[in-house]
Chain A
Amino acid sequence: MKISLVRIFLILVIVSSFSCKKEKETIVIKDLKVMHPRVVWTENPSEHAIISWSSNQLGEDSYVLYDTVSGLDDQKSMRAESAKDGKIFMRKMDYTEGVPEGYFHHTELFNLLPSTTYYFKYCTDGVCSEEYNFLTAPEEDIPFSILSGGDSRMGGDKPRYAGRTPLVERQDMNRLIASLTEEDPSILAFAHGGDYCTTADWRHLYWWFEDHVLTITKDKRILPLIITRGNHEHEIGFLENFWLGEISNEFSDGYYFMTRLTPTSALITLNTETSMAGKQLEFLEETLEERRHEFKWMFTQYHKPAYPAVKEFDREDFYHVRRYWVPLFEQYKISMALESDGHNLKKTSPLLNGKIDKDGIIYVGEGGLGVPQRKPDPSRWYFGEGSVAESAHHIWKIDVNDSITHATAIGIKRDTLHSFSIPYKPYLVEEVSN
């Protein structure tokens, strides 16, 4: 009996070790190429940004050349060495699906000037990209916009299950982002609500980065990303390719932080894929307690919704968002919550204390950047008058002014699907202590 049990156990161990095992393929040394540029914002985008890119060889010297004037060169432009480089982890399935080996590089730029266009090139071993640019966040209280959306998931020639008709909506949405950014220079950043691909393995992320290049404008402006972690980002590829500098903690799956967009507006990014009741809750509480009064407008983004339009309302994870975070949102009067995960267009009625209340918080979402859209259930109690629950690819454009914020859901055909406004409501410290 014991011997047969041990045999069965050993067989299971051996079999499981062959599943998706990384295999060394024969590597042919190619010309070094750099690709997939990203600009990532974290806490202080008026003075800090992270430039990330991929390459097909590791190289020994990766750096970014940057300046406030175009026409970069090695002699005159500022140079920042890369802070983190490495080989992107690949499974057997990644090799099977034919994505090339990749290496990640991340460089932090410090002491930037606010409201300034920075031109940059990223280089590995002297092989440099073309010149791109991005705009830093302002230090003045000026009107601005951000784009918000989630669930890009699939797209392009190589979908998760090869052989069927590829989805191209993700690429179309990316072109829409570029077009919106070209037309409206007040758009500062792109807050992605998570679920970039089916997994964060390289065979998926590679194509997401290929498609992300479509968000770059004709004048080579790259819209900075504010990254949320979704439930399809549990693999190490996410940590390798979306690095947040001093914020990220690879052992605790952090990815929660507050971004100071302007002196009077902030965005708190939370992570529904790590403990919601532990350190993150402490972070949320402390941040709101200490800093809410600084900002007229405080938004929050996270992946899994508190008030889902498609998935089951009573799911544990959605319940946890309502149990642990929503009371703080309501106590500190968050301006609006940006959600994803549901794969539909959603705007709830204003909600407070578990019911519709004109003084409550509006929750918008729910992930329309490319994933096939699901059919929502508009009969749920939080979809009252003025709410939206539709099946449509979209991106939210949030225009923040001094006394009013406009939110517009723009469809894949550049049609306006829905728009609404939130007037500014003063947030008083006395309200909390009472």
Chain B
Amino acid sequence: MLYILAFVLKLYKGSDISAMLVVAKGWSETDAFWMEKGIAIFLILLAVWLFIKPVILNTILLMVFLIIHAIIVYENAGRHFYELSLLSALAKWVLPLLYLSVFLSLKKPDYGFVPKWLLVLTRLSLFLIFFVHGLGCLWMHPGYIDYLIGMGATFTGSFMKQSLAENILIVIGVIDIIIAISILIKPWRSILIWMVVWGLLTSFLRIVDAGIFNYTEFLIRVPHFTLPLVCLLLYKIKTPALTK
């Protein structure tokens, strides 16, 4: 829900959808504005509907929106490593499906279980998210460098050298990739806990760095820690499928 809320807020403030409509499709500013707002309202209704009564239709609609939005962002280009961003964004299409499955397994005991294949897909999504961010670190994403320098300046009062920030990024990148590969092999509890903590810290960093008004960037990254958290809970609960 928070993730969808992040999209709604982005659409309200102006997103890649209006940029694509105005710049690439030749729409007027006004028409693009109303299209974005219309999509935002549609998303809110869809999210409410999914929250109250998740069914396959609203789940699929949300999944389709997430995939289309990721592709629009990719087509618009204009950001660092946008090919990687596409992979990371696409990895989150599984969220509505996971929500539906968990909801059904909790609400309808006779539904049975969260399917194994869905758990596998969730782990694959986690792999993509962490692998992509790990690559971003190793490729010295300028934003990541500035986060480290900025955070260091905020807490210590002095700016660290870019070379030091780059060395730290190499370490973080290697860890991210190891964690990503580990989740593919087996959903170890410690790996999932690390993912939850690291996902939360790095998402929250957006607010620490640029202030509370950057909260949409935090909300967009909520899946980075909620997805491993859900995974952790599902494996801990030991759904019937897993015990079979």
A contact residues vs B (CB 8 Å cutoff): 1-2, 4-5, 8-9, 12, 16, 153-154, 159-161, 164-165, 167, 195, 198-199, 231-232, 234, 253, 273-279, 281-282, 310-312, 314-317, 319-320, 323-324, 343, 371-372, 374-375, 391
Contact = CB atoms under 8 A, between A and B. Distances in A.
B162 A319 contact: no
20 contacts: A153-B23, A154-B23, A161-B25, A198-B23, A198-B24, A198-B77, A231-B78, A232-B77, A276-B142, A277-B150, A278-B165, A281-B159, A312-B14, A315-B214, A316-B209, A320-B150, A320-B210, A371-B23, A372-B23, A374-B29
B29 A375 contact: yes
B76 to A, nearest CB: 8
A275 to B, nearest CB: 4
Contacts of B184: 5, 9
A354 to B, nearest CB: 13
B79 A231 contact: yes
A314 B142 contact: no
B113 interface: no
Contacts of A16: 87
A391 B22 CA distance: 13
B161 interface: yes
Contacts of B77: 198-199, 232, 234
Interface of B: 13-14, 22-26, 29-30, 33, 76-82, 87, 116, 120, 123-124, 127, 142-143, 145-146, 149-150, 153, 159, 161-162, 165, 184-185, 206, 209-211, 213-214, 217
B25 A273 contact: no
Nearest to A322: B210
A137 to B, nearest CB: 31
B162 A279 contact: yes
Given A5-B124, A314-B211, 20 more contacts: A5-B120, A9-B124, A9-B184, A160-B24, A198-B23, A198-B24, A232-B77, A277-B145, A277-B149, A277-B153, A277-B162, A278-B146, A278-B162, A310-B14, A311-B14, A312-B14, A316-B206, A317-B143, A319-B210, A391-B29
B145 A319 contact: no
B24 A165 contact: no
Given A5-B123, A278-B149, A314 B23 contact: no
| Interface pairs A-B: 4 shortest CB-CB | A278-B162, A314-B213, A277-B149, A275-B145
A201 to B, nearest CB: 9
Contacts of B33: 375
B166 to A, nearest CB: 8
B205 to A, nearest CB: 10
Contacts of B116: 1
Contact of B22 (A273, A281, A320, A372): A372
A167 B165 CA distance: 43
Contacts of A316: 143, 206, 209-210, 214, 217
A23 B145 CA distance: 35
A161 B184 CA distance: 38
B73 to A, nearest CB: 13
A41 B22 CA distance: 33
A154 B146 CA distance: 31
A324 B159 CA distance: 11
A199 to B, nearest CB: 5
A140 to B, nearest CB: 38
Contacts of B30: 375
B78 A232 contact: yes
B150 to A, nearest CB: 6
